[in-house]
Amino acid sequence: MSRRAAGIVLGAALLLVAAGLAWWWAGGRLRRLGGSAGSGAGAAVPAGPQTTFAVDLYFPVETGLRPERRNLTGSDTPKDRIRKIVQALLAGPGAAGLVRPLPPGVEVGAVELTPEGVAYLDLRWAEHDDPPPGGSDAEMQAVYSLVDSIALNVPEARRVVLLWNGTQRVTFSGHLDTSRPLSPDRSLIAH
């Protein structure tokens, strides 16, 4: 075999190896992010084109929650919709009488969505180990503002697990059991 032919063979082999490594890396990453490609709702797919979608954000009021219609812009993946929804909630309402569910400074950390329809939302609040203290109603308003806004706007997310600074807590702030996925509670919503 000539030197030129050997070079061509070696180049082809290296290309094959590189392609295999890329496939392996990408496949493993997809599995970590929510299941194998094409597994449905929770499968992580690359961010798609930016679209505008209408959502009802459920903000606390004097008693319970009240929806505020918003148009949000983002990619059309369920995970990105969840992130945009929570970011909009944390930014606060536009209408009078509605209040933000959590204090300024709370930010969205990781968002994950399993193929089973469980959304994991990590809330981050620098220099605060615990969520803000509150009574039962305040806690339910804060928690279900997030849970209802996610689960009632993103069909792929049926239940929500809240993490606080990366940790799943037994209760959010002393009442609600947050050690398990929470389903939306429509009874809190005042129309």
Partner 1 sequence: MVSSCAVTRRRPLASLPLLLLLVPVLVIAQSPRATAPTGPPLIGVGSTGSPTVTLDGHEVRVPVNLGPGGPLFGLKAMTDALGGELVAGETGESYTLKLGGKDVVVGLGSAVVTVGDSIVSLSQPPTRGEGGLAVPLDFLAKTYGDLSGYSFDWRPGEQRLVIGRRSARELPVALDVVHLQGMTTVVLQFSDVPRYHLNQQPGRIEMQMLADRLAVPSPPRKVEDPLVKAVDIAPERVRIDLAPEAAVESYTLENPFRLVFDVHGQSTVVAPAGPAFPTPAPASGIHTIVIDPGHGGTETGAIGPGGIQEKGLTLLLAQALAGRLQQKLPVRVVLTRSEDVNVPHDTRAAIANQNKADLFISIHLNSSLGAGAHGAETYFLSAQATDTRAASSAKSENGENAESPERAEKTGSAPAEPSQDDLRLMLWDLAQTRHLSESQRLANLIQGELNETLQLKDRGVKQAPFRVLMGAAMPAVLVEVGFISNPEEEGKLQDAAYRADLVEALVRAVARYKAQAEAPENPSPPATGAAQPAPAAAPPAAPAKPPAAGARPPGGARQP
Q: Which residues bind partner 1 (CB under 8 A)?
A: 1, 3, 6-7, 9-10, 13-14, 16-17, 20-21, 23-24, 27, 31-36, 42, 60-64, 97, 99, 101, 110, 112, 114, 116, 118, 120, 133-138, 140-142, 159, 161, 163, 166-168, 170-171, 174-177, 179-183, 185, 187-188
CA pair distance 38, 36, nearest whole angstrom: 6
Tell the smallest beta-carbon distance from residue 73 to partner 1 (Å).
Answer: 26
179 in the Ramachandran plot: left (φ > 0), alpha (ψ -120 to 50) or beta?
A: alpha
**DSSP 3-state of 143:** helix
CA pair distance 49, 133, nearest whole angstrom: 40
The residue (of 13 and 51) whose beta carbon lies closer to partner 1 is: 13
The residue (of 53 and 134) whose beta carbon lies closer to partner 1 is: 134
The residue (of 25 and 51) whose beta carbon lies closer to partner 1 is: 25
User: Do the bridges between strand 118-125 and strand 159-164 make them parallel or antiparallel, or are there none, so unpaired?
Assistant: parallel
